[in-house]
A and B are shown apart, each in its own frame.
Chain A
Amino acid sequence: MASIVEPEAAANHDHHGDHPDFLAHHFETPQQQYDSGKLGMWLFLIQEILFFSGLFVAYAVYRANHPEIFVYAHQFLDKNLGAFNTVVLLFSSLTMAWAVRDAQLVNNRGLIINLAITIGCAIMFLGVKAVEYSHKWEIGLYWASKFAPSTEHHGGGMLLFWLCLPFILISVALGVATAVSKQKKYEQGFRFYGILFLASLAFFVGVGCGFVVPAVMGSGDSHGAAHASHEGESEHHVLTAHADSVDAPVIIDESPRNAGIFFSIYYVMTGLHAVHIIAGVIALAWLLWRALKRQFQAEYFGPVDSVGLYWHLVDLVWIYLFPLLYLIH
């Protein structure tokens, strides 16, 4: 792409008939470049849709053939945490859409703030997911090949710690990078690493919410309804709690045959979605870097727009994953 453009230099180049620095040489106009980029992004997005549709088809086939497994398994998914994460992602979509607006209106400060909030929400989503995963693993609810539901808790907090460890290391690294940048008076780096450091702390806020939300909402009527509806089916099938309330004894006396396949589907779907979230965070961090360098201009906001489209698609996938995985009866 074009070399780094200082604001003054950009203004000088931004004359009619001139070829601005942001405009690749094979394009006639900024609009042509923008439209081409957007067309390419949409082609990438439909590839993503088709890619995810394979997983949705696997889900649909398995649910059509084995509804009883889904009725059994949904009790280990905390509806409130799923709803909480939905709200977090929807809010990040709002701030992303707002960031695109700011880029279009050349409101660089607003762009930086909205990108930072979007990154924070994305990382917070992962924090909640880490709590959900670790609670399932503690009671042996792994993917099919390792599926061994048990009444005892295995691993305790260690599983959560291992999931948190990469984020602890990233936070520390970003904190060090911020401090070093400040000491060396490297303004761009200080702001970039500083914002990412603050955003990375959102992971631990997410972990906290992963515990607080079920504590506040978890014993509410939503779970009670799930419990009651299940009791009618078999007397000794007592599931006194779902996986997300730690202290209650979980009795999983008989899981339906091949129940582990549900969890395979669950982990692949939510895991690949989480991989997309991480990829989105990297793309957003790239935008943040460029926004701090003031590289986006009135006729050059394509990259913000494209990452925005990608981010909304990730949100879109979750909009379907949430009811399909969490809201089953």
Chain B
Amino acid sequence: MADTQQATHPHTANDAHGHGEHAHASFAHPMAPRMLIGVFAALIALTIITVVAANFPLGEWEIVVSLTIATIKASLVVLFFMHVWYDKPFNALIFVSSLAFVALFLGFTLIDSREYQPDIEERAIEQVGTTEVAAPAQ
């Protein structure tokens, strides 16, 4: 990586002297403009796709489709704009571990979330005295 950067960016190579065996800022990973524009174009294309897809009646799949597209977009941002692709694996591990905890948080909460729903609905119907209270799906 560092070698190719020196070749493509001569002015950075000038600064390379005097840093021992490390080439100039060996820890820098400048993204190629082509790559930046490419990632941006992909993100815009996915945004358009998700807006267009929202016009079709996909039923229950709608949330799956839109969140899948969002996750692809998020992956592009994390891997390239946030340099995780080129970064130390440890930083990626930290990031992914946080997602594991989010999944635990979300999963366990959702398992429990309907626990009191029947009581709530019963009480609401008592109070309103009508069937106006729409029963949730399921």
- A residues apposed to B, CB below 8 Å: 14-16, 30-31, 34-35, 38-39, 42-43, 45-46, 49-50, 53-54, 56-57, 60-61, 64-68, 79, 83, 86-87, 90-91, 93-94, 96-98, 100-101, 104-106, 221-222, 225, 229, 256-257, 298-299, 301, 305, 308-309, 312-313, 315-316, 319-320, 322-324, 327-329
The count of residues in chain B whose C-beta lies closer than 8 Å to any C-beta of chain A is: 69
- Pick the contact of A105: B9, B37, B97, B132 (CB < 8 A): B9
Additional pairs, 11, CB under 8 Å, beyond known A106-B12, A257-B128? A15-B18, A56-B102, A64-B113, A79-B51, A83-B47, A93-B43, A93-B77, A100-B31, A257-B133, A301-B25, A316-B74
Residues of chain A within 8 A of B4, CB atoms compared: none
Instruction: Using A16-B18, A35-B88 as known contacts, say yes or no to A56 and B106 having CB atoms under 8 A apart.
Output: yes
Whether A45 and B95, one on each chain, are in contact in the complex, defined by CB atoms closer than 8 angstroms, is: yes
Residues of chain B within 8 A of A91, CB atoms compared: 40
Whether B44 and A90, one on each chain, are in contact in the complex, defined by CB atoms closer than 8 angstroms, is: yes
Whether A327 and B98, one on each chain, are in contact in the complex, defined by CB atoms closer than 8 angstroms, is: no
Q: Which partner residue on chain B sits nearest A67 by CB separation?
A: B137
Q: Which partner residue on chain B sits nearest A63 by CB separation?
A: B63
Q: Determine the main DSSP class of B at the interface with A.
A: helix
A4 to B136, CA, bound (A): 62
Instruction: Using A312-B77, A323-B50 as known contacts, say yes or no to A221 and B11 having CB atoms under 8 A apart.
Output: no
B20 touches A (CB below 8 Å): yes
Q: Determine the main DSSP class of A at the interface with B.
A: helix
Whether A31 and B26, one on each chain, are in contact in the complex, defined by CB atoms closer than 8 angstroms, is: yes
Whether B62 and A38, one on each chain, are in contact in the complex, defined by CB atoms closer than 8 angstroms, is: no
Q: Which partner residue on chain B sits nearest A45 by CB separation?
A: B95
Instruction: Report, nearest first, the 10 A-B pairs whose CB atoms are least far apart.
Output: A46-B98, A323-B66, A104-B28, A327-B54, A16-B18, A94-B40, A53-B102, A61-B113, A104-B30, A97-B81
- Pick the contact of B98: A49, A68, A301 (CB < 8 A): A49
B94 touches A (CB below 8 Å): yes
Whether B78 and A316, one on each chain, are in contact in the complex, defined by CB atoms closer than 8 angstroms, is: yes
For residue B50, give the distance in angstroms from its CB to the closest CB of chain A: 6
- Pick the contact of B95: A46, A66, A322, A328 (CB < 8 A): A46
Instruction: Identify which of B99, B102, B124 gathers the most chain A CB atoms within 10 Å of its CB.
Output: B102
- B residues apposed to A, CB below 8 Å: 9, 11-12, 15, 18-20, 22, 24-31, 33, 36-37, 39-40, 43-44, 47-48, 50-51, 54-55, 57-58, 62, 66-67, 69-70, 73-74, 77-78, 80-83, 87-88, 90-91, 94-95, 97-99, 101-102, 105-106, 109-110, 113-114, 117, 124, 128, 132-134, 136-137
Instruction: Identify which of A104, A221, A256, A322 gathers the most chain B CB atoms within 10 Å of its CB.
Output: A104
Q: List 15 A-B contacts (CB under 8 A).
A: A35-B27, A57-B105, A61-B109, A87-B44, A93-B77, A97-B36, A104-B25, A105-B30, A229-B57, A257-B132, A312-B81, A323-B54, A327-B66, A329-B57, A329-B58
